[in-house]
Amino acid sequence: MIWMARVLAGPVLWAVLFSAVYALHGAGCHLGWTDRPLGFTDLHHGAMWAAWIGGLLLHAALVVWMPTGQGRARWIIVAGTWIGLVSSAFTLFPVIVTSTCF
């Protein structure tokens, strides 16, 4: 059972991060965060960037510390962690960069 949790850790973290970024997008649009400056950007984009970067750091930690075992069992865990990392980077970057509220 622990092995399956290790295999699914990367994709589950992707799902959580995906939900969090889209939730921040919806909340930021609804609450008017685009009108609140935050450094070089606004609160809306800053919150999404912070969640995304934090999630990528967690993914990187999984890639480094999660794999255990030997042979095929280890390879599948490594693949799962990399799948989660690449999926989070690839699917959420366009949302954060091109995010607009209508």
pLDDT per position as a tens digit, 54-75: 999 999 999 999 877 788 989 9
- 36-55 core/surface letters (b: 16 or more CB in 10 A; e: else): eeeeeebbbbbbbbebbeeb
77: pLDDT strictly greater than 80: yes
3: pLDDT strictly greater than 90: no
- Cα separation, 91 vs 102, in Å, equals 21
Measured CA angle at 52 (ends 48, 58), to 5 deg: 145
pTM: 0.89
Are 62 and 13 spatial neighbours (Cβ–Cβ below 8 Å)?
Answer: yes
Q: Give the pLDDT confidence score for residue 102 in this predicted structure.
A: 80
Q: What's the mean pLDDT in 25-30? A: 94
Residue 1 confidence class, pLDDT cut points 50, 70, 90: confident
Mean of the per-residue pLDDT values of the chain: 93
Are 50 and 36 spatial neighbours (Cβ–Cβ below 8 Å)?
Answer: no
Of residues 100 and 37, more confidence is placed in 37
Q: Give the pLDDT confidence score for residue 58 in this predicted structure.
A: 97
Give the Cβ contact number of residue 7 at 10 Å: 19
Q: Give the pLDDT confidence score for residue 73 in this predicted structure.
A: 87
Q: How many residues are listed for the chain in this entry? A: 102
